[in-house]
Amino acid sequence: MADETLLANRTETVLRAQDYLQILKSRWKEALFVFFLVFLSCALITKMMTPKYASSMQFEIKQPKDLINLAVGGDANPVQIDAAGHDYMATQFQLLISENNLSAVADELDLDTEWEMSLPAAAREIAGMTKVEPVLGTNLVDVIVTHSDPRVACQVCKAIADCYRNLREAKEKALINEVINKRHEVLRSRQDELELKADVVRQYIRSGKYLQNIWGQNGATSPVSSAAEEQAVTQLNNSRLSLESEISQMKVHVQKLQTLKDEDLLSYVTRTGLLSAESYSSARVRELNEAYREEEELKSQKIISGYGEAHPIMKSLAEQHKNTQEQLFAELVGMRDAMQDQLEVKKAELVEVETSLRTARNKLREKALEDQKVMTALQEYSAEKARYDKLENDYIIDRMRLMTPRQIIEIYRNPQVAGAPTSPNYKLNLIVGAVAGIMLGMVVAVVFSYFDTSVKSLEEAERHLGLPVLGVIPQDAGILLLQGGNSPDVEAYRILRTNVELKKSLYKARTFAVVSANAGEGKTTTLCNLAYVFASAGYSTLMVDADLRRPRLERYTEIEAEYGLSNYLTSDMELKDVVVKTNTPNLYLLPSGPQPNDPSGVLGSHRMEQLLAEVNQRFDIVLFDSPPVLGVSDASLLVSKVDATLVVLQPSKMPLKALLRTRSIIQNVGGQIMGLVMNNVDISSDSQYQYYTTYYSYYTNEEERHDMRPEKKSQKVAAQVNKEKVAAPAADAERDIY
């Protein structure tokens, strides 16, 4: 099922494509006319166009950058900051063709005067002739200027780059100047502030409390005037701590000495070192203590030497030692009392030191506060000095930037005066015109075909009219009576004859009306040739010219007759008096005769029925030529009386509605339509009729096709007519229709 659907879709697509090809084949004249019209118009317009000359140049747009080697820090280049955006280059490309730049170009070249227009108008004129093409991935740009004067094109191209350079340089200088002016204003204000900070420091120096070197490097060194105060506080604090320690020790010693006596007192002061300390003991105490020790040592030596206690020397030593001891103990008591007095003195001295320490600390605190103010003033001055120095440095740098030349663009190709025009491009325009003509011709053909409601093919005729196509007659078919049976068109009529033969028994028909919807569709020619092929097949055939308004059969058969159908219908003449025998065997003609006043009344008379009855008995085939169905009522009367009707139609001639109306008229009056005859069909350019052309090659040999060339066609026709005239006596052998 899926395969069938796919096959159906492919078939539909192929048919749709074939339909478009068929449209182009059938409408080739219209398409060719449109093609030549567009092509010639394009060629004419190209010829009338003014030649244009192009001049181009290529250069690189430089991004702003510092050309100064900065030794110290400073603000960035303000022009670089302005150009920091990612779309800077795209903006510069557009500025090349901006109104400001092009107005400068027009003013520099004096084009407003030369062209007699205002500067903005001249700028717009230049914009229309200028094209800017950036080179992808680079800062390069191509500027192309096109003008009818090659000199002007070259000058404008060069001036665009020059004016862009000047405008950008002026803009960058203006930007830097603006920054310089602002910095100068700030620098002046900061200079005043710096002087105020310096005056504060100078006041401290003038007070005489500080040295002038407090300025130091950048004013950052500390004042040196507070060192003495700090030293005094330190010394007093150390004295206080020493006194406190000494008093604490003396208190311990005094309290201990108050509880000890004699030998215990001597032992304590000796052990604690008080006896040897000059601050506590006197020279007399130390002398007595030394003598006391020496006496004890001497006494010990004497005992060792063998002296007894009763020895006079020993007794003298004991007496002396006792006296020394008593003196020493007495001195120790005095020493104890002296230490008590000394303790009180130390306490008084400690109070005095503490008082001095508090005073020194207050002075140091005041001095530190004053020093802090000085340091703050120095720091503020230092900071202000640094800001001022930086502003001054930036100001100098910007002045250097302003004076330093900058490279705005770098040219890689200079414009040249063109020697040959670049437009119009004749070859390209003609190719475009040809392509456009082909495309437009195809469109016109499709549009004409879409709005064309006429029947164009036998399939459409059969589908819309519901009638079979019995024959397809090729375009420009001639009269077979004059051309003879060797004409290549004869086979088309033989096919028509065969189809009529096969269907006439179904309709029981001998009499046929050959009609068309309108005049000029070839029904008379079709009748003539169909009658010829019937007669050639042995049928006794009668052609009746029933078109009493515009008869043509006599002219087509080259027969002149005095009487005809109108005479027969309006008088008592017999059929043999009005029927004429042609030079073709078995073929007879009933001319139309004189034109009556009322053709439709004559065709509808009783004599017409007698005529039909008589010719039906005497002839095998009777073909009536009729007026157009839609023109007059004669055809309606005729088709209602004959056995069958053949409708001749020409493709793409009559609208479908007219053909439907023709069929309706015939059927409404009781006529029987046997089928359709497609006449004057261009089978050579229409693929759907290709299978009808086989008879050309099948029935016509090379010699006959050679003989049918235009220059020999008249000779061939004349020879055939003479041949049939010679053979006419032999036709007497045919059966007598009367």
pLDDT in tens, 246-268: 788 777 777 777 676 766 666 67
Encoded tokens for 628 = 């157009």
Mean pLDDT over 116-125 rounds to: 91
Q: What number is the average pLDDT over the span 425-448? A: 83
Rounded Cα distance, 702 and 288, in Å = 181
Q: Report DSSP state, residue 419.
A: S
Q: How confident is the model at residue 715 (pLDDT cuts 50, 70, 90)?
A: very low
d(C-alpha 419, C-alpha 410), whole Å: 26
Q: Is the pLDDT of residue 561 over 70?
A: yes
Sign of CA dihedral 184, 186, 187, 189: positive
Euclidean distance between CA atoms 114 and 149, whole angstroms: 13
Q: Which band of pLDDT confidence, cut at 50, 70 and 90, is reported for residue 46?
A: confident
* pLDDT of the residue at 86: 65
pLDDT in tens, 1-35: 555 555 445 444 444 556 667 666 666 777 888 88
Q: Identify the pLDDT of residue 728.
A: 37
Instruction: Determine if residue 479 is left, alpha or beta; phi over 0 gives left, psi from -120 to 50 gives alpha, anything else beta.
Output: beta
Across 531-556, average pLDDT? 91
Nearest to 67 by CA among 397, 498, 545: 397
At 24 the pLDDT is: 67
| Residue 279 pLDDT class (50, 70, 90 cuts) | low
Residue-level pLDDT at 23: 67
Give residue 440's pLDDT.
Answer: 86
Quickly state the pLDDT bin for 528 (edges 50, 70, 90).
very high
Lowest mean pLDDT among 126-135, 143-152, 716-725: 716-725
What SS3 state is found at 110? Answer: coil
User: Band of the pLDDT at 621, cuts 50, 70, 90?
Assistant: very high
How far apart CA 370 and CA 203 sit, in angstroms, is: 13
**How does residue 732 score in pLDDT terms, banded at 50, 70 and 90?**
very low
pLDDT of amino acid 124: 92
| Mean pLDDT of all residues in 314-335 | 72
CA atoms within 13 A on the CB side of 222: 8
According to the model, what pLDDT value does residue 156 have?
92
423 DSSP 8-state letter:
B
Residue-averaged pLDDT of the chain: 78
Q: How confident is the model at residue 387 (pLDDT cuts 50, 70, 90)?
A: confident
pLDDT of residue 57: 93
Around Cβ 593, how many Cβ atoms within 10 Å?
A: 24
User: What's the confidence (pLDDT) of residue 83?
Assistant: 61
Range of lowest pLDDT (137-141, 236-240, 302-306, 396-400): 302-306
Residue 696 pLDDT greater than 60, yes or no: no
With CA atoms as reference, report the closest residue to 290 among 256, 337, 327.
327
The average pLDDT across 218-231 equals: 60
User: By three-state DSSP, how is residue 232 classified?
Assistant: helix
Written as one string, the DSSP assignment of 510-576 is SEEEEEESSTTS-HHHHHHHHHHHHHHTT--EEEEE--SSS--HHHHHT---S--HHHHHHS---HH
CATH of domain 458-702: 3.40.50.300
Sorting pLDDT into bands at 50, 70 and 90, what band is 81? Answer: low
The C-alpha atoms of residue 63 and residue 567 are separated, in whole angstroms, by 108
Higher per-residue confidence, 414 vs 707: 414
Question: What is the per-residue pLDDT for 82?
Answer: 59
Rounded to the nearest 5 percent, the helix, strand and coil shares of the chain are: 65, 10, 25
Answer whether residue 392 shows pLDDT above 80: yes
Q: Could you tell me which residues come within 8 angstroms of residue 356 by beta carbon, excluding any fewer than 6 positions away? A: 236
Sequence ranges of the domains in the chain: 458-702
- pLDDT for 723 beyond 50: no
The most confident of the ranges 40-54, 123-137, 646-660 is: 123-137
Given a cut of 70, whether residue 630 has pLDDT beyond it is yes
Q: What is the model's pLDDT at position 146?
A: 92
